[in-house]
Amino acid sequence: MSDSFRDSSGKRLSDYPRPSVAVDTAVLTVPIGGPLSVVQVRDQVAGDWRLPGTFVHEGERLADAVLRSLRDKAGVTGLAPRQLHVFDDPSRDDRGWVLSVAHLDVVPAAALQTALEARVTPVSEATGMVHGHDDILEFAVAQLRADHRGAPDPHGLLPSPFTMSALRGLHEAVLGERLLPDSFRRAMLPMLTATAEKRAAGPGKPAVLYRR
């Protein structure tokens, strides 16, 4: 835009203070038999654990900055994060006025490979992070839980086909609560397709396998 542009107050764009813009990503997963977890990276200077993120470079798209931060800081590639929320409280970041455009991706544990300076940790233990990352993670987890209350494994964390028991176990891990088997089954069955396959899982009759 031309520097000759002036708004209704007679000011140019350069007359206004500008925040820095960052992107931060919550990459969530559920390890087999484990709890809902998140990818964290260790800061090379401060040594603390935080969400992978970066400042957006001049002329860079948000989506490209997200993929760059995941690749360079977490060693994670091949993801497709979606924009989640803009955190714009001017006091949220102790480094100064920083807008964070938060992103979310949900990835099967088997497909998640991280760098040495990254780890997958339970969300319940991922606290005390700098730059408002706790708030970003809390928002991302709330969104993921809302997704799972309305659909069976909406992000494809389970390999298909799967048993009803495995599906319930996944939802319990995501929601962080126990679910009544009969109630869960009644809620999920209308959204699943039973296959002709069955799987033995200990004593008793083999369990029916389902697809989403």
Q: Residues 6 or more apart from 78 whose CB is under 8 A from it?
A: 111
CATH 1.10.10.10 fits 162-211, yes or no: yes
Nearest to 156 by CA among 99, 109, 119, 95: 109
Is a pLDDT exceeding 90 seen at residue 5? no
Confidence band (pLDDT; 50, 70, 90) for 1?
Answer: very low
Note the pLDDT tens digit of each residue in 76-109: 998 999 999 999 999 888 889 999 999 999 999 9
Beta pairing class for 98-106 and 20-29:
parallel
Beta pairing class for 207-211 and 162-163:
antiparallel
Element housing 144 (H / E): helix 133-150
Q: What is the structure's pLDDT at 10?
A: 78
| CB-CB contact of 27 with 52 (8 Å) | yes
As given in the structure block, the two tokens for residue 84 are: 């989640």
Confidence band (pLDDT; 50, 70, 90) for 201?
Answer: low
Domain spanning 13-150: which CATH class is it, in words?
Answer: alpha beta
Note the pLDDT tens digit of each residue in 95-147: 899 999 999 999 999 888 888 889 999 999 999 999 999 999 999 999 999 99
Confidence band (pLDDT; 50, 70, 90) for 2?
Answer: low
Hey, where are the domains in the chain? 13-150, 162-211
| CB-CB contact of 19 with 56 (8 Å) | no
Cα pseudo-dihedral 116, 29, 126, 33, rounded to 10: -100
Is a pLDDT exceeding 50 seen at residue 12? yes
Q: What is the structure's pLDDT at 203?
A: 67
pTM: 0.89
Note the pLDDT tens digit of each residue in 152-174: 999 999 999 999 999 999 999 99
Percent pLDDT > 70 in the chain is 96
Q: What is the structure's pLDDT at 143?
A: 97
Pick left, alpha or beta for residue 46 (phi over 0 → left; psi -120 to 50 → alpha; otherwise beta). alpha
DSSP secondary structure code for residue 158 in this structure: S
| CB-CB contact of 62 with 23 (8 Å) | yes
